[in-house]
Structure 1
């Protein structure tokens, strides 16, 4: 049974001895602390969104248009009353939450992806490893509990196949194909600092460790600066696949028996096409506002996608989650689980694994409390009847 909310009891009891939390207690507070402490390039890379950042703002504003209708006298708040566990794509989770795939975590902490994997394993939730990672698939697989692999499908099918096979062998439970980033969006925060970490050889550990990629190189990248520059240039030619189409999911199905989710979907027709092509799940996401400025808020797209494919595939939600009530709203509107991004990345930059754990415990405790105070004893009870729309 759920005990995430016990986090608040730990804090209050510690307060009797004069202790107060060293880390902020909100997602906004974590962002502010990170901006104070992190290298400006690292903070900009995580915090930045596309162009005027209207899509990122819209993601948050969309939650303001929905209100929870709590139910009373249901016995949902007592000790051991709630069980928030969920099964998503065959993965059993202590709560329907996974860390979203964020790349280049070495900007925030050495072996950042491994630390995230350890923190999620401890809490019993899932993590999704980015292709653009600073730690290898195998390193994360050795440290993680329940984890999925996010595939940025490169412009080389053999390399893509190698990534997928490596992930499966390392223990990944699902493949998440991100389709909204065949190229990077216009990101002024990074442009003002002339900072693209991949050009410095950061965030390409899975390429540098891959036998298919290494076979394309004349010299091993670790041998010299010139060899590393050649490897980076090779990476540039491979990242992003502009020819990818829904039918390519059949190719992916030939490579693996793992469940397949497609991330970056906001249009119902796209959702229908990828499910028709064999996807087991759709992740409604606009990449946290990082790709198309002025795009629809992910939450505003959720109910239509659920209505379109929810009877045939799991629908997950990503983009804009900042609190437990946000998780409740997304699940009540039809999401099976949520992917949670930037706040734990700020925690990683501030305090390493302890910072990730803190950020995740904030979300999970808030979610746990909100579910109970809304009159529900499980995440499965959350439904549209608990939500009022405000325009």
Structure 2
């Protein structure tokens, strides 16, 4: 699982001053080669979407409610018919071997220690069967469509056999965004994904009038008909990840999918896409109460989790913070980061008078 970049030593104990997810983000730069940090930390273009994902949470405050009986309070929730201890899951993040020798194996161990669900990336450094063995918590598989449908189906069958209980199909980045910080740092991806056929793809021949992007890179990009095909191949529930428009969300449900992940790929795809949280209420309103809706992007505190649920998310996905934590202290760091987030979330629930996930509603929020 090694890369051409060095793996920096990890902490064996959590420092007393590592108290928030922002602390993890600030410390992580010390535990990665500079080029790798830029790859993990950066966004696309001018990073307006990346920063917007964080800034939008500042538009909301929460009401402090008093004298509520919370002796039976809990954070259990159901997603796609499965019970989760809390509505905080690890997002699919590729190439984790860049920051830790055990890569996603260590991440899964950390998630398991605090009963957190995880979504494993198609582009994981570790193979999906080995990761599945590291956690008894619910686990889903994030799927990128492959050029050959047979290769896509092979990934689905392996995920089914390994015990993954849902598919999360990412569709918002059929081609990579322009990541200027990555280019300036001179980063090149040295790893291969263990679950993918490494046979070199046959180059696409273009005429002089063809666009490298339109007729080249986008020629094999998935379309709605591919989603219809996938739905017929598996009985697993499917969420569509990378949805930012209500019409696309509705079409996903009309196609027989169970829900969506409102996401702009952490600001790493198309810059100037609105913040995920800003898009959430309209998408929830379009889909109604029965669809499963997750939020991905910008969450850095338990209050952020609370705000996300109040505005319509059933659960949230945590992306970059898991990589910062993995880089700093491996499985221990991932578990500690998630524990911080869960404790903050429970504290927010307690002081807003919410005894269960169902009590977290728009009426809990105050907006400027």
TM-score by length of 1: 0.84
Query: Any idea what SS the aligned residue of 1:283 has?
Result: strand
Query: Contact (CA 8 Å) 2:302, 2:341: kept in 1 or not?
Result: yes
Query: Which of 236, 243, 247 is 2:225 aligned to?
Result: 247
1:234 has 2:226 as partner: no
Q: Distance in 2 between matches of 1:203 and 1:252?
A: 25
- Structure 1 residue 155 displacement after superposition: 1.5
1:52 has 2:46 as partner: yes
- Structure 1 residue 285 displacement after superposition: 0.5
Sort the Cα spacing of 1:137 and 1:239 in 2 relative to 1 into closer, same or farther, 3 A: farther
Larger relative helix fraction: 1
- Structure 1 residue 239 displacement after superposition: 9.4
- Structure 1 residue 240 displacement after superposition: 7.7
1:74 has 2:68 as partner: yes
Q: Distance in 2 between matches of 1:240 and 1:41?
A: 28
Q: Distance in 2 between matches of 1:235 and 1:102?
A: 27
- Structure 1 residue 22 displacement after superposition: 4.5
Residues 307-316 or 261-270, more deviating: 307-316
Query: Which of 98, 101, 106 is 2:89 aligned to?
Result: 98
2:284 counterpart residue number: 306
Query: Any idea what SS the aligned residue of 1:339 has?
Result: strand
**For structure 1, which runs of at least 5 residues remain unmatched after alignment?**
1-18, 208-212, 214-230
RMSD in angstroms over aligned alpha carbons?
2.0
- Structure 1 residue 232 displacement after superposition: 6.4
Runs of 4+ in 1 over 6 A off after TM superposition: 235-241
Q: Superposed, which structure 2 residues align to 1:227-306 within 5 Å?
A: 231=198, 233-234=200-201, 242-306=220-284
1:62 has 2:29 as partner: no
1:136 counterpart residue number: 127
Query: Any idea what SS the aligned residue of 2:133 has?
Result: helix
TM-score by length of 2: 0.89
Query: Contact (CA 8 Å) 2:110, 2:333: kept in 1 or not?
Result: no
- Structure 1 residue 23 displacement after superposition: 6.0
Query: Which of 193, 209, 212 is 1:204 aligned to?
Result: 193
Sort the Cα spacing of 1:235 and 1:196 in 2 relative to 1 into closer, same or farther, 3 A: farther
Query: Contact (CA 8 Å) 2:74, 2:356: kept in 1 or not?
Result: yes
**For structure 2, which runs of at least 5 residues remain unmatched after alignment?**
1-12, 205-215
Q: Distance in 2 between matches of 1:189 and 1:22?
A: 32
1:179 counterpart residue number: 171
Query: Which of 336, 345, 348 is 1:358 aligned to?
Result: 336
Query: Contact (CA 8 Å) 1:155, 1:239: kept in 2 or not?
Result: no
